[in-house]
Amino acid sequence: SSEVAYRFRHLRTLMSSKEGPFPKTLEGFGYKFNEEGKLRKIDAATGNTTDTSFQFNVSSDPSYNQKRYEAVGEAVTELVYDLLDKEGLKRLPVPPGSANGSFIFCTENAQVSDKLVILIHGTGVVKAGQWARSLIINDSLDSGTQIPYIRKAQELGYGVFVLNTNDNFRLIDGKKSPIKGSSNAQEHASTVWSHYITQSRAQKIAIIAHSFGGVVTMSLASNFEEDFLKRVFAIGLTDSVHGKIPRAVSSVLADHLAKIGRNWVSSLEALDSPLPEQAGEIQCVSAGTSKHELTSWSCMDSLFSFIEERLENRLVSTRDEL
């Protein structure tokens, strides 16, 4: 029996090895999204979705469960990329002209539109089109992906750029190799801005960023001050962790960022309730949820109302200058 136990352990090790024979698709794991965009188990007999949601614990080995979850996450990444393709977005290489680099998504009209929305997710495992992987797997595509934001921005007449700031490495001969121009989030955003945003026609740009995306936004502002002063009219943050406007930026830019920005933070207060202000900083209001990863979904309508209001203010002040 010790031989059997050894073989079983050996098999388990194989199953949970990093390369693990994990499927590449959600269907391979026995799951798919139902009509409501919720991940559900597939009935093997009919191929239809059941009411059973994702099960994390399928083994007594915690590391196997975690690796399986990560493999499901990889399948989610590919599925969300496909959904962005289906929404009619196109991929642009980062840096431009690279074959094995990173990429971003944008709407067909993004480079020629007179107004733009730029979406920046947080740090970690999420890739383009995702706010929170855990929500996509355990809640829904609506709450966890950026698709509702992309659709809303398009309805309001904006071109959209979807950044992919966590796409930093490629496996080359089994080794992690940093992507030139996209080796970290700030560098990715900077490459996108200098090659695509600078070249785009839009004179009116709004940025929407979640969590660490706020840090990336501040880094962009520092690197492209003139562009921010001229073209960026609104910054909608959701539970941004930028802390404060960077000391390094000029006082003119700091004033501009404080004026055009708003941060919807996780809070028990009602949605949009103003939270204690810090002089000279971006205003914080409640996102209407105490859950960090839910903030973007919870405050979406308020955030877009804010952007539209800022656009109106900008148009009025531009008219006043004429």
Instruction: Tell me which residues are annotated as active site.
Output: 211
Residue 160 host element (H or E): strand 159-162
Long-range contacts from 280-287, C-beta under 8 angstroms, 24+ separation: 280/245, 280/254, 280/255, 281/244, 281/245, 282/235, 282/237, 282/240, 282/242, 282/245, 282/257, 282/258, 283/258, 287/238, 287/239
**Regarding beta strands 159-162 and 102-106, do their DSSP bridges make them parallel or antiparallel, or are they unpaired?**
antiparallel
- Separation of first and last alpha carbons in the chain: 88
**Regarding beta strands 31-33 and 39-41, do their DSSP bridges make them parallel or antiparallel, or are they unpaired?**
antiparallel
Tell me how far apart the alpha carbons of residues 266 and 305 are, in angstroms, rounded to a whole number.
19
Tell me how far apart the alpha carbons of residues 280 and 258 are, in angstroms, rounded to a whole number.
6
Other Cβ atoms within 10 Å of 285 Cβ, number: 21
Other Cβ atoms within 10 Å of 95 Cβ, number: 16
Q: Are 236 and 206 contacting, i.e. CB atoms less than 8 angstroms apart?
A: yes
Tell me how far apart the alpha carbons of residues 193 and 197 are, in angstroms, rounded to a whole number.
5
Structure tokens at 41: 């188990």
